[in-house]
Amino acid sequence: MEERKELKKKQDDILLENVTNEISINKESSIEELLIVLDVIINGSKIIENAKKVEELKSLFYLKLKEDIINSNEITKDKSTYEIDFKEKINLYKAKKKSIRDEILRNEKINLKIKTGLIDEIKDLIEKVDLNKETFDSIKIIQKKWRETGLVSIRERNNIWNLYNFNIERFYDCIQINRDFRNLDFKKNLEEKNKIYKLAENLLQEKSIKKMHSSLQELHEKWKNIGPVSKENREIIWTNFQNISKKINKKQNDYFTKLKEQDKLKVESKNLICSKIHSLSKQITSHQKCHSLIKEVIELEKKWLKIGKINSLENKKCWKKLNEAKSLFNLSKNDFYKNKKIEIKTQIENKQKICEKAKILKSNTNWKETTIKFINLQKAWEKDKTQNSTKINDIWKEFRSHCNEFFNAKKLFFKKLDTEKIENLKSKQTILLEIKKLTIKDTTKNILNSFDEKWNTIGALPQGSKNLEFEFEKILLKLYNGIKIDNKELSQIKYKRKINSIRNNAKELIKEKEKIRDIITEKVKVIGQYENNKSFIVPTKKENPLLDLIEKNITNVANEINELKKKLQLLNSF
């Protein structure tokens, strides 16, 4: 049963090695394949050893998941399930790793306690007076137990070994033991250490730096567990082993220095490509330009991949920069098309609003103001630069038809109006000739009112006809004065004529209304002041001239207000 379990673990390790090698080379591996690899690691025997591989799988998994999300523009149910499954497996792996680490820590504490006890036993042997072969056998048993006892924590490892080695050497140096036994043991230890030295020499030919380093660590561990050699050989053999270790370490350092330099150049090249992709994200100005830049980004990414792998830490940073650069480009691309859609939509809405305004205005016969509004609408249309769009072209055709309809109607109206104005001019010239023939004897108020009414019922005149208006008004007022009409009534006639002259001018009418309202407000204030003055006069039975004057003034101002109100009523009738 145990053999089957061991065989299954070996198969898992082999499968893990094959699968992870495939992933490290082929970046197209699917999410399902990554989950399978994670399963193999969790169920394998090298939980701690595969920690770095799990981190690589984790980075690759989220990279693939992010790429799928970007490609599909949404998080599907399957992707969410994959991530949940992956997290569960990661948590299971972490739990197993923690359990193993806790077990290692417990074992290291136990081992430390055992080794500390063995050192105490050596100290006890040193203190014995009657040393014999049994004492020598005891030290051998202690050494064997030491070798069989597992590792202690890295923090305590050198310290405990130095203490152990010191006491062993002290044991052999201080006791009076049978020289034959001691020399035999020294000789045996020297042979073992020479074998280790030869193995260390052979490691210089090892091509795998990783294997060379781990093998050297194993040889050092074995060296520590071998007993001492004679004093004359002790320094020489240790110096030789140290020198060969230094050569191996130098070879390793040279290798990693060279590798670091190569990685530095690769990182610079990869970062330069990322910077280029980053700069391309700022160059998207049109649809054609965007397609061209997408192809350029794909080519840059291929160059980035051809540069090759680098150390794990820098590799993660480089992948992160590449993904950030690509994400920024994709974001700029998406923003460009999103803004384009919004821009076209906004332009269509603006054009539709302009067209709707034109549709409403086209029937308006207030020609002057409406013409200005149409001109402003046309300017607004031209100011808002538009993209090529079938919808906008259709709106333009409709807008142009509304403009044409209004201006054609306006042209027709003024053509007709010019004819009417000429006729009106002839009619007023006829009236002017008739009123010129009148004399004071033949004139009455009714006749003059009739002339004035006829004159006012005639419509607008052509430009340059003001002198005709002035001449008629001059003659009419002269005749009114000739028949000796009441000044108040004459004033009303004059004001009525003034209003008739501005009846078609809305601005002048509004201005006149505001003027009269302001005068009425001031008159009301005057009456209020008079009333206030009255309150200071003590009433008496006798007549008070001052009080009578105030009352008279109040009456006069009130009459003026009534006349102003009549004028306001006249204005409001238009």
Q: What count of Cα atoms within 13 Å lies in the side-chain half-sphere of residue 551?
A: 7
* Whole-number pLDDT of residue 1: 43
Query: What does the CA dihedral 378, 379, 384, 388 come to, rounded to 10 degrees?
Result: 40
Are 392 and 301 members of one domain? no
* Whole-number pLDDT of residue 256: 80
**Count of CB atoms situated within 10 Å of the CB of 139:** 20
* Structural domain harbouring 408: 345-414
Closest CA relative to residue 303, chosen from 328, 326, 269: 269
Average the pLDDT over 345-354 and give the result. Answer: 81
| Higher per-residue confidence, 168 vs 24 | 168
Most confident region among 114-118, 129-133, 263-267, 492-496 by mean pLDDT: 114-118
Q: Is residue 154 part of a domain?
A: no
Burial class (CB in 10 A: 0-12, 13-18, 19+), 226: middle
Q: Is residue 191 part of a domain?
A: yes
Average the pLDDT over 76-88 and give the result. Answer: 73
pTM for this structure? 0.36
Q: 483-509: b or e for each residue (b if 16 or more CB lie within 10 Å)? A: eebeeeeeebbebebebeeeeeeeeeb
SS (H, E, C) 299-365: HHHHHHHHCCCCCHHHHHHHHHHHHHHHHHHHHHHHHHHHHHHHHHHHHHHHHHHHHHHHHHHCCCC
Q: Is residue 211 part of a domain?
A: yes
Are 369 and 248 members of one domain? no
Are 314 and 204 members of one domain? yes
Q: Are 508 and 499 in contact (CB under 8 A)?
A: no
- Tell me the per-residue pLDDT of 169-208, one tens digit each, with 9 for 90 and over: 888 776 655 566 677 878 888 888 888 888 888 888 888 8
Are 312 and 359 members of one domain? no
Burial class (CB in 10 A: 0-12, 13-18, 19+), 236: exposed
Dig out the tokens for 88 from the structure: 């569960």
- Tell me the per-residue pLDDT of 255-285, one tens digit each, with 9 for 90 and over: 888 888 888 888 888 888 888 888 877 888 7
Are 320 and 375 members of one domain? no
Dig out the tokens for 161 from the structure: 């070994």
Amino acid letter, residue 85: D
| Residue 128 region by backbone torsions, left for phi larger than 0, else alpha for psi between -120 and 50, else beta | beta
Long-range contacts of 141-145 (CB under 8 A, 24+ apart): 142/118, 143/168, 143/225, 143/227, 145/114, 145/118
SS3 264: helix
Q: Is residue 185 part of a domain?
A: yes
Query: What does the CA dihedral 131, 134, 137, 142 come to, rounded to 10 degrees?
Result: -70
Are 303 and 268 members of one domain? yes
Q: Is the pLDDT of residue 119 over 60?
A: yes
* Whole-number pLDDT of residue 287: 74
Q: What count of Cα atoms within 13 Å lies in the side-chain half-sphere of residue 566?
A: 13
The residue among 399, 414, 429 that closes a domain is 414
Are 285 and 361 members of one domain? no
Amino acid letter, residue 478: K
Q: Is residue 197 part of a domain?
A: yes
**Count of CB atoms situated within 10 Å of the CB of 397:** 10
Are 197 and 252 members of one domain? yes
* Whole-number pLDDT of residue 77: 43
Distances (CA, A) of 110 to 66, 106, 113, 571: 46, 6, 5, 114
| Higher per-residue confidence, 118 vs 341 | 118
Any residues with CB less than 8 A from the CB of 166 and at least 6 apart, and which? none
Q: Is residue 221 part of a domain?
A: yes
Are 279 and 199 members of one domain? yes
Q: Is residue 292 part of a domain?
A: yes
* Whole-number pLDDT of residue 18: 45
> Which of 36-45, 191-200, 470-479, 495-504 comes out lowest in average pLDDT?
495-504
The residue among 414, 449, 467 that closes a domain is 414
The residue among 357, 388, 414 that closes a domain is 414
> Which of 162-166, 198-202, 388-392 comes out lowest in average pLDDT?
388-392
Are 183 and 320 members of one domain? yes
Are 382 and 285 members of one domain? no
- Overall domain count for the chain: 3
% of residues, the chain, pLDDT over 90: 0
Q: Is the pLDDT of residue 553 over 70?
A: yes
Distances (CA, A) of 161 to 141, 213, 217, 229: 17, 21, 15, 16
Q: Are 29 and 23 in contact (CB under 8 A)?
A: yes
Q: Is residue 115 part of a domain?
A: no
Are 353 and 320 members of one domain? no
Amino acid letter, residue 387: Q
Q: How far apart are CA 244 and CA 265, in angstroms?
A: 32
Average the pLDDT over 36-41 and give the result. Answer: 84
